Structure 1
Amino acid sequence: MTKAPKARQFRTLFLSDIHLGSRAAKADWLIDFLRHHHADTIILVGDIVDGWRLKRNWYWPQDCNNVVQKLLRQARKGTRIIYIPGNHDEFLRDFPGTHFGGIEVELTTIHEAADGRRYLVMHGDEFDVVVRHARMLAHLGDWAYDLAIFVNRLVNYGRRRLGLPYWSFSAWAKLQVKQAVNFIGEFQRVVVEEARKHDVDGVICGHIHHAVIEDMDGIRYINTGDWVESCTAVAEDYDGEMHLIEWRQPVALPADLKRRKALDAGEATSEKPAKAA
């Protein structure tokens, strides 16, 4: 049996777009990730709970409880946890400054890294014109996304039967659509401009499920990705360096979770350090 790697300690972990309550959420993969990655501070960058889907059809398996309990236990043990709501968990935007079981709710926050760089942290849907000005279209897009995730599962079931590694059809399809690529580029541009208005060195966001760390016109743009398609997080080490982590295959899942339907085959874990400034 392969020995599980030793847990890594970071200064800060940034997680977003977990979508608890969605059938596509890889909650068990996240539990495994948190078992092997610890931090002094965890910042949840929105869409942690998928209120939109829960309103349509209640779905809350034990995996979802496990994630919530894991975070609450870490808060009790001294980890600072900040929750910045997104559009799918916007009901929490009515409670800024509130603490729930040691978890702080804030609309946005300024994070000062160990190297002195200051980052504006927000979910990012504030700059999604569709979400802001055409709510019905946003929900229609959400249903289309559900369909893409369903196809993604079928594709990966077939790939697993052929002995092939996990591959995100939904992420690939999104990047093949010109409008989607244009939207990602425009989203990045306006978010970077918002960071500039706040006179900070960078911005950390989620929302568009497209994980990346890059420098744009003197501003560090960081997107944490998601736990539906890519299973990614951003980690800050004790020197202030930011790393993009992809958790492609759980190291050791509990026996009951190993029996999960064979729709989420994965690759080995990989880690990508941020580009030097």
Structure 2
Amino acid sequence: MSTSKYRLRLIDKAAHAGNNVNSWIMANNTYRSIWISDLHLGSTQCQADVLLDFLKHNDSEKLYLVGDIIDFWALSRKMYWPRDHNTVIQKVLRKARHGTQVIYIPGNHDENVREYDNYVFGDIIVKNSDVHTTSTGKQFLVVHGDEYDTIAKCHKWVAKLGNEGYDFLLQVNRLLRISRRLLGIQSNFSLAAFVKFKVKNVVQFISDYEDSIVSTLKDQGLDGVICGHIHHAEIKDMDGFLYVNTGDFVESCTAIVERADGTLELVNWRKTEPAIADSETLEANLHG
């Protein structure tokens, strides 16, 4: 891989439009490509308000929906479809009608959509996987990623049990967030994230997942992979192969974007308390 620049840009979006700190975040950003995944529409865990705000302020020539967009697992247990979830669908369809190329790559929570590979629905094309070429000619496989998760692939009932536990942690975290707000405590602490990185087996699972994708794909003439699935946003070089994970919109509210010059960035789009907009840049030169 020739020398390329990839940037991790962490953005805490201002909660109030009147805040003047880094007010440029409030304006619309236009990118060559955007990747979002794990929206889990139809689940009570979806942060649809933050997602809508992201879609409002960020446009692109190409928009990838990288799996688990609609959570059919959650809908099979309980019908939950509030107005803002419907608004998300309408917003994406509107972008497609106005010229954005929207590609929907299903995941394991919306795996029934995989039956419609290469079908077009309302200007949105369904693909089980795709190869994206950046403006600099780099090629990235775009997949949801459950194909490389042995638990999700071979032990679906275990994956569903783990999903139940994750949902429980997110529910508890929501109550903690409300309590902190009432007590005047400003914090972005996430119980689910804390448990995720304190439990040795979970940390090992994330590492195994990343290694599985890279070991499978790095000899296929690609420069990297862009995936989702494990709700852990990341951009990192692994043995000359770029591993990119979009994160999610149930906890971290992250996306991957490509600028016109081919630069890939990981953007964290979330509301803060109090209203503070902060931008931090981490740049890494990758040599092949």
Q: Tell me the TM-score normalized by structure 2.
A: 0.87
CA 1:167–1:117: 2 relative to 1, 3 Å = same
Counterpart Cα distance in 2 of 1:199 and 1:120 = 10
Deviation at 1:126, TM superposition (A): 0.6
Structure 1 contact 11–39 (Cα < 8 Å) conserved: yes
Counterpart Cα distance in 1 of 2:36 and 2:144 = 10
Deviation at 1:275, TM superposition (A): 2.5
| Paired position in structure 2 for 1:225 | 247
Structure 2 contact 19–275 (Cα < 8 Å) conserved: no
| Paired position in structure 1 for 2:187 | 165
Structure 1 contact 159–166 (Cα < 8 Å) conserved: no
Aligned length: 264
**Secondary structure at 2:35 match in 1:** strand
Q: Which runs of 5+ in 2 are unaligned?
A: 1-17
Structure 1 contact 21–64 (Cα < 8 Å) conserved: yes
Q: Give me the CA root mean square deviation.
A: 1.7
Specify which of 128, 131, 135 is matched with residue 156 of structure 2.
135
Deviations 1:80-139 (A, max 9, x none): 000000000001000000011000100000000111110011000011111111111111
CA 1:267–1:194: 2 relative to 1, 3 Å = farther
CA 1:194–1:167: 2 relative to 1, 3 Å = same
CA 1:235–1:137: 2 relative to 1, 3 Å = same
Does residue 275 of the first structure (1) align with residue 284 of the second (2)?
Answer: yes
Q: How does 1:96-245 map to 2 (within 5 A)?
A: 96-161=117-182, 162-245=184-267
**Secondary structure at 1:276 match in 2:** strand
**Secondary structure at 1:275 match in 2:** strand
**Which structure is higher in strand share?**
2
The higher-RCO structure (CA 8 Å, 6+ apart) is: 2
Specify which of 37, 45, 48 is matched with residue 58 of structure 2.
37
Q: Which segment drifts farther, 265-274 or 11-20? A: 265-274
Structure 1: 4+ residue segments shifted above 6 A: 264-267
Aligned identity (percent) is 44
| Paired position in structure 2 for 1:253 | none
Q: Tell me the TM-score normalized by structure 1.
A: 0.91
Counterpart Cα distance in 2 of 1:168 and 1:7 = 28
